[in-house]
A and B are shown apart, each in its own frame.
Chain A
């Protein structure tokens, strides 16, 4: 027995060493992988006639919107189009600001920013201006002096909400009993899309909110909220979900309870963002309306870089799709 102990001990030490090597390899590998995917830099090509742009964006995994936005950026700012683009992604404001400083040191010509947070950008934008770097904001605005950036290209969320509510009003129902499923409270999209509906409900007696809850962009929470209303036995004829995922969750709850929806159904389904699969639901008549939130800012930015600034704040064209008029071409062109 006694002789077994040292052997065991040695074995265990060996195991330990092996484990350590294994785990550290995995860690290093995963770290370097992460590093690769975070900073896909476009090589050192000074004086090659290319316009050097540094693009700071949110994490492309965040949502379908962001994925489409990132793809659009990557397709536009290519070498064939005369750009040398570097990308940086983070959902954290501080990380983005640090990346902006890095880009300034790298002497880019243009800095394109979709800020994670609205504040804290003043000094770094000042630095950029002093270095002669032009800043263009896209998708999100920030709280900084207008002189610090060339232009900002944004979606008007309130406008999106208004277009949708106008469409809903045009349906001419006798009574609107609405389940309103909100996004993450305080986000620009939630505030804009909620605002228009709230105003309409306040001004019209035949517009009622059955329930108004946040599902935090989560399909499953939306499913629970609608399920809760169905369980309570209250009647409703409109579901106003502030993004496509939540509309999908809501529809699943309706299906389980055998409540008809979509074109010719009992309940009108409204979603936002125009995901491809959502537009296909429209095409199939399962939903009624989807409002676009345009993620394709790259062409606007390209235009500004090539032809100069025409206006400080560019609000993008956005449209809504009605299930009765949507075509396959719309799905292909506007789906994200």
Chain B
């Protein structure tokens, strides 16, 4: 028995060892953040976790409570985080145009459903058609960004700045600057509740998206390709991967995510406001990726961590609303928490923390042994 063998035995056997292993997992940071928020809310007010079944105005039973609000409201963000993680991984940059692109996607859906009349009594087209058109349009805009990034080698943030600036005007132009309203209750199902089902529909849509991306990552080479392009695009090219196509594909996938998120957004209110819909959501999506412990410079990624990151952000938002933080201070509170989380997830800090723990923990385990 050498000392090193002894060490591994000890590490695997003790709780400290398990902890050490966990702390080096990428997924640890978003989980820890989530855990902290849960603990904080448990101490401050346990009723935070109460879920009640009540009747909605349409006469159907629906669940309500803070937790339901969180998983409902985080839907768009979680879906965007999927696409943003892939883009970040492959291109080493972020797409800052997703908020504007959601405005465009939502505007397209309403345009197809409303036809030329902005206040129709009946929808002019089946919802599925509108959604498919919106997917195509959003993927085209994604491809536009992707082409600029991959073939013209423009930095992602600069390339997507074009759409970031122009997107909301384009969205308004699609509907002749009118604000269409859809009165058919069927359209509102997708952003609220399907009659008879007590869980908000966006939760199911998000779950479907997560399952799809999990299957795609499992059965295709998307993960391998985007990571290798992100780590070193030259060597991946020499190994037969076309970096430009891979980057383009990630932007198109993000476009698809935008379409789904935009669909949920317009369905929530059955209308759109071009200037405020999905405002600043791009920053939250990037933040979700960062909170997931993913390097924003590209390369390896952990999809689960990003998605949990999205739920952490919504958890934080809902917590702040619950505690009635004053309007002027809410952004500052959010910023402070975000700074703490991001700093904690930085590799340097985690390494230091690990060392600190080693200083404290061995003495403890030695005592226990004695």
- Chain A residues near B (Cβ < 8 Å): 16, 19-20, 23, 26, 30, 34, 37, 59-64, 67, 182, 185, 211-214, 216-220, 223-225, 227-228, 230-233, 245, 248-249, 252, 254-258, 275, 277
In chain B, positions 45-62 with a C-beta closer than 8 Å to chain A are: 47, 54-58, 62
Smallest Cβ-Cβ distance to B324: which chain A residue = A211
Query: Given A227-B69, A256-B64, is A232 in contact with B265 using a C-beta cutoff of 8 Å?
Result: no
Partner of B269, one of A26, A211, A230, A252: A252
Q: Could you give 16 example pairs across A and B, Cβ below 8 Å? A: A23-B144, A23-B148, A23-B152, A37-B169, A61-B169, A217-B276, A220-B269, A224-B321, A227-B64, A228-B322, A249-B269, A256-B57, A257-B56, A257-B64, A258-B56, A277-B179
Query: Given A61-B275, A185-B328, A258-B55, is A231 in contact with B177 using a C-beta cutoff of 8 Å?
Result: no
Task: Sort A-B residue pairs by CB-CB distance and give the 8 closest, nearest first.
Answer: A214-B327, A61-B172, A255-B57, A228-B321, A218-B276, A258-B57, A231-B66, A258-B55
The answer on a CB contact under 8 Å between A231 and B269 is no
Partner of B169, one of A34, A218, A227, A249: A34
The answer on a CB contact under 8 Å between B275 and A182 is no
The answer on a CB contact under 8 Å between B47 and A233 is yes
Return B285 CB to nearest CB of chain A, in Å: 16
Return A132 CB to nearest CB of chain B, in Å: 35
Tell me whether B168 is interfacial, beta carbon within 8 Å. yes
- Chain B residues near A (Cβ < 8 Å): 47, 54-58, 62, 64-66, 69, 73, 119, 144, 147-148, 151-152, 166, 168-169, 172-173, 177, 179, 181, 192-193, 265, 268-269, 271, 273-277, 279, 317-318, 321-322, 324, 326-328, 330
Q: Which residues of B contact A224 (CB under 8 A)?
A: 69, 73, 317-318, 321
Return A91 CB to nearest CB of chain B, in Å: 9
Smallest Cβ-Cβ distance to B326: which chain A residue = A212
Query: Given A26-B144, A230-B64, is A257 in contact with B327 using a C-beta cutoff of 8 Å?
Result: no
Smallest Cβ-Cβ distance to A225: which chain B residue = B321
Smallest Cβ-Cβ distance to B72: which chain A residue = A227
Q: Among A26, A60, A231, which residue has the most Cβ atoms of chain B within 10 A?
A: A231
The answer on a CB contact under 8 Å between B54 and A258 is yes
Interface of B is mostly: mixed
Measured between alpha carbons, how far is A214 from B86 in the docked complex, in Å?
Answer: 33
Measured between alpha carbons, how far is A311 from B269 in the docked complex, in Å?
Answer: 44
Q: Which residues of B contact A214 (CB under 8 A)?
A: 327-328, 330
The answer on a CB contact under 8 Å between B66 and A220 is no
Q: Which residues of B contact A59 (CB under 8 A)?
A: 169
Query: Given A34-B166, A61-B172, A256-B57, is A219 in contact with B66 using a C-beta cutoff of 8 Å?
Result: no
Smallest Cβ-Cβ distance to A245: which chain B residue = B273
Q: Which residues of A contact B321 (CB under 8 A)?
A: 213, 224-225, 228
The answer on a CB contact under 8 Å between B268 and A220 is yes
Q: Which residues of B contact A248 (CB under 8 A)?
A: 269, 271
Q: Which residues of B contact A256 (CB under 8 A)?
A: 56-57, 62, 64, 192-193
The answer on a CB contact under 8 Å between B327 and A212 is yes
Return A8 CB to nearest CB of chain B, in Å: 11
The answer on a CB contact under 8 Å between A61 and B177 is yes
Measured between alpha carbons, how far is A232 from B323 in the docked complex, in Å?
Answer: 10
The answer on a CB contact under 8 Å between B327 and A219 is no
Q: Which residues of A contact B268 (CB under 8 A)?
A: 220, 223, 252
The answer on a CB contact under 8 Å between A60 and B177 is yes
The answer on a CB contact under 8 Å between B179 and A64 is yes
The answer on a CB contact under 8 Å between B324 and A213 is yes
Measured between alpha carbons, how far is A31 from B266 in the docked complex, in Å?
Answer: 28
Measured between alpha carbons, how far is A213 from B318 in the docked complex, in Å?
Answer: 12
Return B201 CB to nearest CB of chain A, in Å: 12
Measured between alpha carbons, how far is A84 from B219 in the docked complex, in Å?
Answer: 65
The answer on a CB contact under 8 Å between B265 and A220 is yes
Partner of A216, one of B54, B147, B173, B279: B279
Q: Which residues of A contact B324 (CB under 8 A)?
A: 211-213
Q: Which residues of A contact B181 (CB under 8 A)?
A: 277
Q: Which residues of A contact B47 (CB under 8 A)?
A: 232-233
Return A285 CB to nearest CB of chain B, in Å: 14
The answer on a CB contact under 8 Å between B269 and A213 is no
Measured between alpha carbons, how far is A219 from B265 in the docked complex, in Å?
Answer: 11
Q: Which residues of B contact A218 (CB under 8 A)?
A: 273, 276-277, 279
Partner of B69, one of A19, A62, A228: A228
Q: Which residues of A contact B269 (CB under 8 A)?
A: 219-220, 223, 248-249, 252
Measured between alpha carbons, how far is A212 from B330 in the docked complex, in Å?
Answer: 11
Smallest Cβ-Cβ distance to B172: which chain A residue = A61
Smallest Cβ-Cβ distance to A71: which chain B residue = B177
Query: Given A67-B177, A224-B69, is A61 in contact with B168 using a C-beta cutoff of 8 Å?
Result: yes
The answer on a CB contact under 8 Å between A245 and B69 is no
Smallest Cβ-Cβ distance to A23: which chain B residue = B147
Return A93 CB to nearest CB of chain B, in Å: 17
Measured between alpha carbons, how far is A26 from B69 in the docked complex, in Å?
Answer: 42
Return B166 CB to nearest CB of chain A, in Å: 7
Return B18 CB to nearest CB of chain A, in Å: 36
Q: Which residues of A contact B119 (CB under 8 A)?
A: 277
Return A281 CB to nearest CB of chain B, in Å: 11
Smallest Cβ-Cβ distance to A33: which chain B residue = B173
Q: Which residues of A contact B327 (CB under 8 A)?
A: 182, 185, 212-214
Measured between alpha carbons, how far is A95 from B179 in the docked complex, in Å?
Answer: 27
Return A81 CB to nearest CB of chain B, in Å: 23
Q: Which residues of B contact A182 (CB under 8 A)?
A: 327
Smallest Cβ-Cβ distance to B150: which chain A residue = A19
Partner of B65, one of A26, A231, A245: A231
Measured between alpha carbons, how far is A275 from B57 in the docked complex, in Å?
Answer: 24
Measured between alpha carbons, how far is A231 from B47 in the docked complex, in Å?
Answer: 9
Query: Given A218-B279, A227-B69, is A19 in contact with B147 using a C-beta cutoff of 8 Å?
Result: yes
